[in-house]
């Protein structure tokens, strides 16, 4: 995800390049159209990058003012409130951009002390946040590596899950080498889909080496190209191509990991060699199915029960093929638990599958989450808290665990603890628009307006990308509307709510989110109408969220809210518990 997008007219490219280099030198992640990949449509990439940018620097000149592209990009940034303007030749921005401040870079030669540059830099810093140099990673090893997401060369976008899985597994394998520091998967995946300069990646992340590669999977054959690059010089340290049967996929991963260790001249301890060779499954078909299911789990519409049903079917087949595949059992358990408690489907609640996973691997953290939900549903909150602590102990780097822990504490109205875990979840999976939405709830409850605005922008940018990939994603549509509401864009909020209800009217998760959105906007009547349309069909698990969700505090005292909630609880036989006090206002 680019933090800074630069828009300019082609004749101004030398200055645009200089500005990009200076911003990169200051620690910002910068994108301009010299990095357009050869395999994707120009307009599609531009839209993706500009929507994902936290700051859009528009460089005005006589030529730029005539450019329809520059004007369109400036308009997109203005609406998203990410616009930063600078004039290269004294030309004033055209209407309506002339109503916004503009830095003067006329005759600028790269001097950082120039008033115009200081003005532009300050605006970018305010929008994009602290530059990377301000939060450099503390190195723990002399040798370090980032495994970039391997490119999917299969000619089928649906095979993306497989190349992503290969990248993740090599990251996991190399993390077992004590002499090597490995950048986390989720940090590396922020570069996914980008045309990157490897040396710049190494500098930004503070690593000595970078691994990049590609995967081509066709029928029962797989070809993997991998190359290890020196982060300082950009030279190849090692490279190889593996063209094998799909049944050899685990052998290929072992060979790549061991080749990298050898190329880096690191000593591989006997227990580390065994750890690399030890696989969760030795069956390539089960492995392929698990990767497919996990992709659906991460990117699917979490307000649509079909996501859970699809994951259940695929994981059930994976554990049928390999009954000792703990990861597949754990994912099956989470899907079953969600379908039972979030959608009230008459299916197993995941308890049996979770225990199957834990019997194979007691340290698989995600398998404890369905157990936590069962204990909560049965009122055993003390035991649920114990299981949650175990999940956190074994899953300190798990996106799913931190999200569930965040929800656990948010329902207790422990805003600081919930915030900490949702921040961890968003850091581990930056594309998770739902995590950013939950963070906005926490920041609003705590009265942190600065962080609330940042979270709202990420709600918009990440959900926009999700909607581009799947226009029917009701969860993303709901959170997109919520982001605009938090940014004060009332017209856009209404527009997206109306569109979403046309696209996915039966998505209860989305309707619940809209009730929260309208409550935040102060539109009590519409918020209550939306909530009343959802409450008669919400699950008991969701009803408990309604009781304590800070987003609904604006309508909580309305008699209509109390009646709708009471009716819903009576329908489900939920007994009243002691009220949880609202968080203190700043």
pLDDT digits (tens, 9 = 90+) for 465-492: 888 878 888 888 888 988 998 888 888 8
Nearest to 445, CA basis, from 412, 494, 401: 412
**How confident is the model at residue 330, as a pLDDT?**
96
| Three-state SS at 395 | coil
Please give the residue that has the higher pLDDT: either 221 or 155. 221
For position 356, what pLDDT does the model report?
A: 96
pLDDT, residue 325, reads: 95
Question: Which among 269, 288, 62 is positioned nearest to 159, based on CA atoms?
Answer: 288
pLDDT of residue 92: 87
CA–CA gap between residue 390 and residue 412 (Å, rounded): 19
The answer on pLDDT for 582 being more than 60 is no
Output the pLDDT for position 39.
Answer: 55
Q: Give the 3-state secondary structure of residue 100.
A: coil
Say which residues have a Cβ less than 8 Å from residue 449's Cβ, sequence separation at least 6. 443
Question: In this predicted structure, what is the pLDDT of residue 301?
Answer: 74
Tens-place pLDDT, residues 16-37: 888 888 888 777 888 777 665 5
* Residues 187-230: tens digit of each pLDDT: 788 788 777 788 888 888 889 999 999 999 888 889 999 999 99
pLDDT at 392: 92
Would you state the pLDDT for residue 133?
39
Q: Cα separation of 586 and 584, whole Å?
A: 6
The pLDDT value recorded for residue 267 is 83
Indicate the average pLDDT of the chain.
85
What mean pLDDT is predicted for residues 545-568?
88
> How high is the pLDDT of residue 128?
79
Cβ-Cβ contacts under 8 Å for 491 (sequence gap 6 or more): none
Given a cut of 60, is residue 257 above it in pLDDT? yes
Strands 221-230 and 209-218: antiparallel
pLDDT band at 135 (very low <50, low <70, confident <90, very high): very low
Residues in the chain: 586
* Weakest mean pLDDT among 53-62, 130-139, 455-464: 130-139
pLDDT of residue 367: 96
C-alpha 330/C-alpha 356 separation (Å) is 8
Contact criterion met (CB below 8 Å) for 540 and 572: yes
pLDDT at position 569, please? 86
pLDDT number for residue 584: 34
Structure tokens belonging to residue 411 = 């329902």
| Cα separation of the two ends of the chain | 33
10 Å CB burial of residue 65 (0-12, 13-18, 19+) is middle
Nearest-angstrom CA–CA distance, 303 and 308: 10
Q: What one-character-per-residue DSSP string does 500-562 give?
A: HHHH-TT-HHHHHHHHHHHHHTT-HHHHHHHHHHHGGG--HHHHHHHHH-GGGTTTTTSHHHH
> How far is C-alpha 268 from the chain's CA centre?
33
* All domains in the chain, ordered by first residue: 4-134 (3.40.50.10140), 143-279 (3.40.50.10610), 447-586 (1.25.40)
pLDDT at 579 over 70: no
**Is 578's pLDDT higher than 60?**
no
Among 230-234, 262-266, 311-315, the range with the most confident prediction by mean pLDDT is 311-315
For residues 503 and 472, the answer to whether their CB atoms sit within 8 Å is: yes
- The DSSP symbol for 9 reads -
pTM of the model: 0.68
Q: With bands split at pLDDT 50, 70 and 90, how would you rate the model's confidence at 40? A: low
pLDDT at 1: 43
pLDDT at 150: 93
User: By percentage, how much of the chain surpasses pLDDT 70?
Assistant: 94
Token reading at 566? 């009471």
> Does 186 or 67 have the greater pLDDT score?
67
Per-residue pLDDT tens over the stretch 384-430? 999 999 999 998 888 899 999 998 898 888 999 999 999 999 888 88
R_g of the chain, CA atoms, integer Å: 25
d(CA 177, CA 297): 29
Task: Quickly state the pLDDT bin for 586 (edges 50, 70, 90).
Answer: very low
Which of the listed ranges 223-227, 271-275, 299-303 does the model predict with the highest average pLDDT? 223-227
Q: Nearest Cα to 52, choosing from 20, 76, 16, 17?
A: 76
């Amino acid at each position: 995800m680019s933090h800074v997008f630069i828009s300019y007219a082609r004749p101004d490219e030398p200055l645009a390049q200089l500005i990009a280099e200076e911003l990169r030198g200051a620690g910002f992640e910068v994108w301009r159209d010299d990095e357009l990949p050869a395999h994707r449509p120009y307009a599609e990439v531009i839209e993706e990058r500009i929507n994902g940018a936290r700051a859009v620097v528009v460089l005005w000149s006589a030529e730029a003012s005539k450019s329809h592209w520059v004007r369109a990009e400036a308009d997109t940034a203005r609406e998203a409130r990410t616009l930063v303007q600078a004039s290269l030749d004294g030309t004033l921005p055209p209407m309506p951009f002339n109503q916004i401040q503009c830095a003067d870079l006329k005759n600028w030669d790269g001097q950082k002390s120039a008033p115009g540059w200081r003005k532009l830099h300050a605006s970018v810093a305010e929008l994009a946040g602290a530059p990377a140099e301000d939060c450099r990673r503390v190195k723990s090893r002399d040798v370090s590596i980032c495994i970039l997401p391997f490119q999917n060369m299969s000619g089928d976008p649906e095979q993306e899950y497989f190349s992503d899985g290969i990248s993740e597994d090599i990251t996991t394998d190399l993390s077992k080498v004590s002499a090597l520091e490995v950048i986390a998967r989720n940090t590396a995946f922020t570069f996914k889909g980008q045309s990157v300069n490897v040396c710049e990646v190494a500098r930004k992340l503070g690593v000595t080496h970078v691994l990049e590669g590609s995967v081509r999977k066709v029928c029962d054959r797989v070809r993997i190209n991998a190359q290890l690059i020196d982060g300082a010089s950009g030279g190849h340290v090692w490279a190889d191509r593996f063209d094998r049967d799909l049944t050899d996929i685990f052998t290929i991963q072992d060979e790549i990991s061991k080749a990298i260790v050898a190329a880096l001249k690191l000593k591989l301890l006997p227990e580390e060699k065994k750890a690399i060779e030890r696989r969760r499954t030795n069956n390539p078909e089960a492995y392929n199915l698990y990767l497919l299911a996990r992709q659906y789990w991460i990117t699917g519409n979490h307000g649509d029960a079909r996501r859970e049903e699809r994951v259940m079917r695929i994981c059930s087949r994976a554990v049928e093929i390999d009954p000792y595949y703990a990861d597949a059992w754990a994912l099956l358990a989470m899907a079953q638990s969600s379908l039972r408690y979030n959608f009230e489907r008459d299916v197993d609640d995941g308890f049996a599958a979770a225990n199957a996973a834990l019997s194979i691997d007691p340290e698989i953290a995600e398998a404890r989450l369905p157990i936590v939900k069962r204990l909560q549903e049965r009122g055993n909150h003390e035991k649920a808290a114990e299981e949650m602590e175990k999940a956190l102990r074994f899953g300190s780097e798990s996106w799913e665990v931190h999200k569930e822990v965040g929800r656990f504490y948010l329902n207790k109205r422990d805003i600081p603890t919930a915030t900490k875990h949702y921040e961890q979840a968003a850091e581990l999976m930056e594309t998770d628009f739902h995590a950013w939405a939950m963070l906005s709830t926490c920041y609003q409850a705590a009265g942190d307006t600065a962080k609330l605005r940042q979270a709202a922008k990420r709600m918009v940018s990440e959900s926009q990308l999700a909607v581009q990939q799947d226009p029917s994603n009701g969860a993303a549509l709901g959170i997109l509307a919520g982001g605009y509401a938090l940014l004060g864009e009332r017209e856009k909020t209404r527009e997206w709510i109306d569109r979403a209800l046309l696209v996915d009217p039966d998505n209860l998760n989305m309707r619940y989110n809209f009730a929260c959105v309208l409550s935040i906007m102060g539109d009590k009547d519409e918020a209550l109408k939306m909530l009343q349309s959802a409450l008669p069909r919400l699950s008991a698990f969701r009803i408990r969220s309604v009781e304590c969700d800070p987003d609904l505090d604006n309508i909580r005292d309305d008699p209509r809210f109390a009646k709708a909630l009471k009716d819903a609880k009576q329908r489900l036989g939920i007994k009243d518990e002691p009220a949880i006090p609202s968080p203190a206002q700043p």
